[in-house]
Amino acid sequence: MKYILTAVTAIVILGLMAFQSKNFAQTVHSFGDTTIHFEGETHFANMRQLTFGGDNAEAYLSKDAKYLIFQKSEPSKGVICDQIWLGKIPTSANEKFEPKQISTGGGVTTCAYFYPDGKSVLYASTHLAGNACPPKPDRKKYGNKYIWPLDTNMDIFQADVNGKILKQLTTTKGYDAEATISPKGDRMVFTSIRNGDLDLYTMDLKGKKVKQITNTLGYDGGAWFSPDGTKIIWRASRPSTDVEIKEYKELLAENLVAPTNMEVWIANADGTDAHAITDLKQANWAPNFTPDGKHVVFCSNHEYKRGFPFNIYLADLDGKNVQKISRDNGFDAFPMFSHNGKKIVFSSNRNNGGTRDTNIFIADWVE
């Protein structure tokens, strides 16, 4: 989950889409130089599929774009719960993508991210509470709504690139996850339930100087810093009616959330001047800045009354001039650009043979 989605992480809507994608046929078009590139995806070139099988999501590049870190589950190969994997990006057609698992293998993990120097990573994990996967909620109890669990033993850890845990960064009771690091490497932004609601916090990378930067009722998560570190962007739900507020609070009391109605928000890095930049309805999430800081990308299902597909969109910083940039008939999400803006990586249901698999793709970015 960076979805609360995280996995949410996984991730919220990812789990939903992984389930739904099997219920309709996907049409793969031959476009450009592969069959994984859909007609109309004019911003992508030289696309390559990096993973083949399982649920692979929240894939993020190191600053030098040489390495990728992501979360993966694949029960058929013994990876029951999401674990964190790291791999070198191939530089030639003959080079394989051969990631290694760097998380402990215990519990469930989510939301990994590189430190700017590329020598360390952070991710959230429940492994201190035991090796077993946390139980999943019974959706029938909640009218078969998509329900995402807030694992109460989820904390954020620093590890080296070989998986050695270097430091536990959060220690409060309840959910702490969905962290990313500022471009300068001086602090991180993350989601926590420590105050009784799902809010954003910043903290230095020693686990000190914690500051709450959102305080409105509703889920705030999946935040990213702008390239210059002055702003943040994130996804938020804002229950407003009595019925919505009641449902949100009742689920939260059970350490659950139903993040199916979200908009993209932006603010200064200290949380001031917070405001929504989308009003598209349904689920608008997984936002990120373009490398020049002048635009945003995000995932949305707003075009489809059924709640799917999810595609990736590009917009101005004020949310205007929304442009659809991906075209899969299932699930495209978690876009991230390389630091120099030449590459984009994302997760997608495309080319999965009609299975529920979600894989990672990388492409050259075409302006």
pLDDT for the residue 142: 87
Burial of 6 (0-12, 13-18, 19+ CB in 10 A): buried
Q: Looking at residue 228, what is its pLDDT?
A: 97
Whether pTM > 0.85 for this model: the answer is yes
In order of their start, the domains of the chain are 12-365 (2.120.10.30)
Q: Are 310 and 331 in contact (CB under 8 A)?
A: yes
For the four alpha carbons of 366, 328, 287 and 156, in that order, the dihedral sign comes to negative
Averaged pLDDT for residues 271-281: 97
Q: What is the DSSP letter of 358?
A: B
pLDDT in tens, 313-339: 999 999 999 999 999 999 999 999 999
Residue 3 pLDDT > 60, yes or no?
no
pLDDT at 31 over 60: no
Dihedral of CA 63/12/330/77: which sign? positive
What is the arithmetic mean of pLDDT over 269-278? Answer: 98
Tell me the three state secondary structure of residue 177. strand
Q: Helices marked H in the chain — which ranges?
A: 12-20, 242-253
Averaged pLDDT of the chain: 91
| 53-69 pLDDT tens trace | 999 999 999 999 999 99
Count of alpha carbons within 13 Å of 85, Cβ hemisphere only? 25
Report long-range pairs for 49-52 (Cβ below 8 Å, ≥24 apart). Answer: 49/351, 49/359, 49/360, 49/361, 50/87, 50/89, 50/90, 50/97, 50/359, 50/360, 50/361, 50/362, 51/97, 51/99, 51/359, 51/360, 52/357, 52/359
Examine the pLDDT at 192 and tell me if it is beyond 60. Answer: yes
When pLDDT is cut at 50, 70 and 90, the band that residue 306 belongs to is: confident
What is the percent of the chain with per-residue pLDDT over 90, rounded to a whole number?
85
pLDDT tens-place string over residues 80-100: 999 999 999 999 999 999 999
User: Given a cut of 50, is residue 243 above it in pLDDT?
Assistant: yes
- Residue 143, pLDDT score: 86
Contact 135, 152 (CB under 8 A): no
Q: Which helix (H) or strand (E) holds 315?
A: strand 311-316
For the chain, report the end-to-end CA distance as a whole number of angstroms: 29
Each residue of 169-187: pLDDT tens digit?
A: 999 999 999 999 999 999 9
pLDDT (mean) for 207-224: 97
Give residue 24's pLDDT.
28
pLDDT recorded at residue 6: 39
Query: What is the rounded distance in angstroms from the CA atom of residue 205 to the CA atom of residue 193?
Result: 19
Does 364 score more than 60 pLDDT?
A: yes
Q: Which segment of 14-23, 72-81, 254-263, 339-348 scores lowest on mean pLDDT?
A: 14-23
Contact call for residues 286 and 311 (beta carbons, < 8 A): no
